[in-house]
């Protein structure tokens, strides 16, 4: 009797269980839309800085060569010598130039005597011709022509003598400005000249170290943010605990065709002589925007091999918008696009996994 009753009960329970499973399957809830954090696009003036390598040079620096073939008779300075403008640094010796000067002086004296004689002759003939019938006009013209010719020869002799004197002056090499001898490539007795082995290297190199020139090449994209008179900071490795200041004095106004950068120069006063020409410096350039631009977190920009873009959300649907990237400052970056407007909603943490047309909330 018990066995007969249990069988239909078990069947009813099984049917009930199957019915409840079917109902749950039919009423399953749809998958929720993904929640994505967005930001409101705003404009601001971005301030950033870049660090660029630069080189310190003497404000004035010159390589000194010999203009005439000669031998070094006396060397009055050495590396590290401080010199004044006009100071004799090297005395050269060229005996043939001394002989040329003596010959030119002799020709000058001879021509002076010839001109004096012809001038006196002309003056006497001129006085005599005042008495009518004594001197023909032709004789007077001949005397005048001879005097003019001798005068021209005299001027030529003076010019030749002065030329040799000038060449003789080249045998003394003087400092063109106040500075320090930073290189010496000769010794007493060495042959030097405008051509040949003696002209391979400069005899001396003079550099002005009281005022230095700091030159830096600024990449094209940063040049609009710099102006003449802007203050910059720089450091050098050998003086790691000190930061130096300078102002932009000169901008080339054109880009180097190889580097695509503009040469910018600063004047650095160096009265303490801590800095030396040839030092490599790290220049810190402050880049301040003149106008407000769109600024977003770096995480909002997706960069691929093909393009850079941000993901805008309009009516809960995503749209990729191509952009051009500008300067970076910390976690922020400038972006530029004609398709963006103020207060547009952008995905804060964008990635390639978020496709166009994705419905989000």
Spell out the CATH class of 38-46+292-347: mainly beta
What contacts 90, CB < 8 A, 6 or more positions away? Answer: 64, 72, 74, 75, 76, 77, 172, 173, 186, 203, 204
For 271-289, the pLDDT digits (tens) are 888 898 888 999 998 887 7
Identify the pLDDT of residue 25: 46
Average pLDDT over residues 134-162: 89
For 54-111, the pLDDT digits (tens) are 999 888 999 999 988 889 999 999 999 999 999 999 999 988 888 888 899 999 999 9
For 198-229, the pLDDT digits (tens) are 678 899 999 988 899 999 999 988 888 888 88
Identify the pLDDT of residue 153: 92
Identify the pLDDT of residue 130: 80
Q: How confident is the model at residue 326 (pLDDT cuts 50, 70, 90)?
A: confident
Whether residue 15 is predicted with pLDDT greater than 50 in this model: the reply is: no
Structure tokens at 206: 């003079």
The share of the chain scoring above pLDDT 70, in percent, equals 89
What is the topology classification, in CATH, of domain 50-59+208-288? Answer: Elongation Factor Tu (Ef-tu); domain 3 (2.40.30)
CATH for 95-169, among 1.10.287, 1.10.150, 3.30.70, 1.10.3470? 1.10.287
- What is the domain partition of the chain in residue ranges? 38-46+292-347, 50-59+208-288, 61-94+171-207, 95-169
- Domain at 61-94+171-207: CATH code: 2.40.50.100
Identify the pLDDT of residue 162: 92
Identify the pLDDT of residue 133: 73
Cα separation of 177 and 82, whole Å?
A: 11
Identify the pLDDT of residue 72: 92
Whether residue 320 is predicted with pLDDT greater than 60 in this model: the reply is: yes
Identify the pLDDT of residue 23: 47
Structure tokens at 310: 């941000």
For 341-352, the pLDDT digits (tens) are 888 899 988 888
């Amino acid at each position: 009797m018990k066995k007969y009753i249990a069988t239909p009960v078990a069947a009813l329970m099984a049917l009930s269980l199957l019915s409840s499973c079917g109902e749950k399957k039919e009423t399953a809830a749809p998958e929720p839309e993904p929640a994505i954090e967005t930001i409101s696009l705003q404009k601001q003036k971005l301030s950033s800085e870049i660090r660029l390598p630069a080189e310190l040079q003497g404000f004035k620096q010159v390589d000194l060569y010999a203009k005439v073939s000669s031998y070094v008779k006396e060397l009055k300075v050495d590396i590290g010598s401080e010199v004044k403008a006009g100071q004799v640094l090297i005395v050269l010796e060229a005996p043939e130039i001394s002989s040329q000067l003596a010959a030119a002086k002799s020709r000058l004296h001879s021509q002076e005597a010839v001109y004096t004689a012809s001038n006196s002759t002309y003056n006497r003939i001129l006085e005599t011709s005042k008495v009518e019938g004594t001197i023909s006009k032709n004789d007077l013209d001949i005397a005048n022509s001879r005097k003019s010719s001798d005068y021209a020869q005299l001027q030529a002799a003076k010019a030749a003598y002065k030329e040799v004197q000038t060449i003789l002056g080249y045998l003394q090499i003087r400092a063109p400005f106040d500075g320090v001898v930073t290189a010496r490539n000769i010794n007493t007795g060495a042959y030097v000249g405008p051509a040949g082995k003696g002209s391979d290297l400069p005899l001396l190199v003079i550099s002005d170290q009281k005022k230095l020139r700091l030159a830096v090449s600024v990449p094209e994209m940063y040049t609009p943010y710099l102006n003449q008179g802007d203050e910059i900071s720089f450091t050098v490795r050998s003086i790691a605990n000190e930061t130096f200041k300078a102002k932009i004095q000169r901008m080339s106004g054109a880009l180097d065709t190889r580097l695509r950068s503009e040469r910018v120069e600063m004047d650095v006063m160096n009265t303490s002589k801590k800095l030396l020409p040839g030092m490599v410096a790290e220049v810190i350039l402050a880049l301040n925007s003149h106008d407000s631009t769109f600024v977003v977190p770096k995480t909002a920009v997706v960069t691929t091999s093909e393009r850079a873009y941000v993901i805008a959300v309009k009516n809960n649907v995503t749209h990729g918008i191509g952009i051009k990237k500008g300067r970076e400052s910390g976690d922020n970056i400038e972006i530029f696009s004609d398709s963006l407007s103020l207060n547009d909603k952008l995905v804060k943490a964008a990635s390639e996994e978020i496709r166009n047309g994705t419905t989000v909330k």
